[in-house]
Amino acid sequence: MKILLLRSACGLALGAWLTPASAAPAPGATDWPQFRGPDGRGIAVGATPPSTWSATSNLKWQTDLPGPGSSSPIVVSARVLVTCWSGYGDGSGGGPENLKRHLLCLDRANGHIVWQKTVAAEHNVDSYEGFLQEHGFASSTPASDGRQVFVYFGKAGALGFDLDGRQLWQVVLGTDSNRRNWGSASSPILYQDKVIINASEEAHAVFALDQATGRQLWKAEGATLENVFGTPMLAKSDLQTDALLAVPEEVWALNADTGKLRWYVESGLSGNIAPSMVVGDGVAYAFGGFPRLAAVAVRLGGKGDMTKTNLLWSGYNSSYVPTPVLHDGKLYFASDAGFATCLDARIGVLVFKERLPGASARGGGKPFYAAAVLANGNVYAVSRRNGTFVFAARPALNWSRKTSSPAMIPISMPRLRCRAGNSFCAPTGLFTASSRCRRRTQGKHGKHKTHHENKSHPPRARLGRFNVPADGARR
């Protein structure tokens, strides 16, 4: 596996990586510290990256890594942090007992490895077969507060390190396996002193851990989380901060301070839910579902069942895996079927849907799993096998070009993230990656139960799907 940094004509990075490659940035000024960037929206403010790159053009440096991976790199000041795995399922011929996961810190200026930490495998490693071959054993993107870095390695647990590579703690969150062997998914996010992790595969629960010690601060459980692969999205409304997740049939807003269910909306999205939620202008958007795709827009805020008041629109123009990006009232994404797509965020109607030429030219399977990233008025969408596609974020489609090099932009469902050719690259901070993976798509609606702490306001019986305690606090 290789990491590549591509040189931008104007010295700025794309999407997750906005910093000039030629100079050391001011700490925190241009960081891309977690999955889909500082606020999880996938928007590279002020970035003007190149729209083409290859092995012979716009390439600054290249670094070999110990093995493959499906996570996105993050940038913290002059550091690039990325995960991978080795020993099993990587072509080496080793068995489950040989599995190792790695966290690497690289110098962003030259790609040199500053330090590397190796984490031994759990005792009950999932077999590298079926759906797990879509992404492997290192799919969760790290997160950093500028002082520490946090990773989630599935059954091997969540870990905290300082930026010199010293391990601070390790906590196992669960050891279960998905019935379909999909493997671990969601990436950690940070809120105040907390690391929030959707451990759907291992525990059917969302956890908040203390950043300093790894101690559990809260846990929100629900059997339906087995089929939820999105990363939680933080959203502020009124005077509250919620961690949003789309689950089968509902959108949940968990109190980010306590983990209790603050409000929910019935969504109609069935089966497995892959994309992370998109938030902007006081509205949250959910996508996904199986076997039929759907999408909903939900007004933020409230308490309890907010379906009648907060559900703004619903429709069937949706994305199965890629998370859209919101820009100027429009939702843009390259669909898993290979179409550049734009929806009107206000009412959910389709603005355009056009096939991207060459997206499905070779390799078979669905061409896109990666989330959209917006930079300089363009949408960057990374295909699984055929490079990165760039199209203008405007209501009239103007698709630009396909790069000649496979690349990776952060995506919403780590089990489906692929880096092609065991490499990732970035135009002056656009770190992109891909891997040789095959895709099989299937899903099944999981069952879940209801339990509310607030006995005076029980939910309706037909909503009996979750056992996350309700938040008793007023707004």
Put the strands of the sheet holding 189-191 in their side by side order.
Answer: 189-191, 194-199, 205-210, 216-221
User: Can you give the pTM of this predicted structure?
Assistant: 0.83
CA angle 318, 319, 325 (to 5 degrees): 95
Return the CATH number of the domain spanning residue range 2-463: 2.130.10.10
Q: What is the per-residue pLDDT across 396-443, written as a single tens digit (0 to 9) for each?
A: 776 555 544 333 333 222 222 223 334 445 444 444 333 323 233 233
- Cα gap 98→56, rounded to integer Å: 36
- Cα gap 234→337, rounded to integer Å: 28
CB neighbours of residue 361 within 10 Å: 13
Q: What is the pLDDT of residue 234?
A: 97
pLDDT, the chain, mean: 79
Domain boundaries, the chain: 2-463
Q: What is the per-residue pLDDT across 258-293, written as a single tens digit (0 to 9) for each?
A: 999 999 999 999 998 989 999 999 999 999 999 999
State the pLDDT confidence band at 81, using cuts at 50, 70 and 90. Answer: very high
- Cα gap 278→268, rounded to integer Å: 17
The better pLDDT of the pair 312, 463 is held by 312
State the pLDDT confidence band at 15, using cuts at 50, 70 and 90. Answer: very low
Sign of the dihedral defined by the CA atoms of residues 265, 268, 269, 270, in that order:
positive
Q: What is the per-residue pLDDT across 317-334, written as a single tens digit (0 to 9) for each?
A: 999 989 999 999 999 999
Which residues does residue 220 pair with via DSSP β-bridges, in sequence order? Answer: 206
State the pLDDT confidence band at 458, using cuts at 50, 70 and 90. Answer: very low
**126 CB contacts (<8 Å, ≥6 apart)?**
132, 155, 177, 181, 183
Kindly report the length of the chain.
475
Please check the confidence at residue 451 and state whether its pLDDT lies above 60: no
Q: What is the pLDDT of residue 69?
A: 86
The better pLDDT of the pair 15, 48 is held by 48
Q: Which of 328, 327, 433, 319 is nearest to 374 (CA)?
A: 327
Please check the confidence at residue 186 and state whether its pLDDT lies above 50: yes
Token pair for 341? 């797509």
Q: What is the pLDDT of residue 474?
A: 31
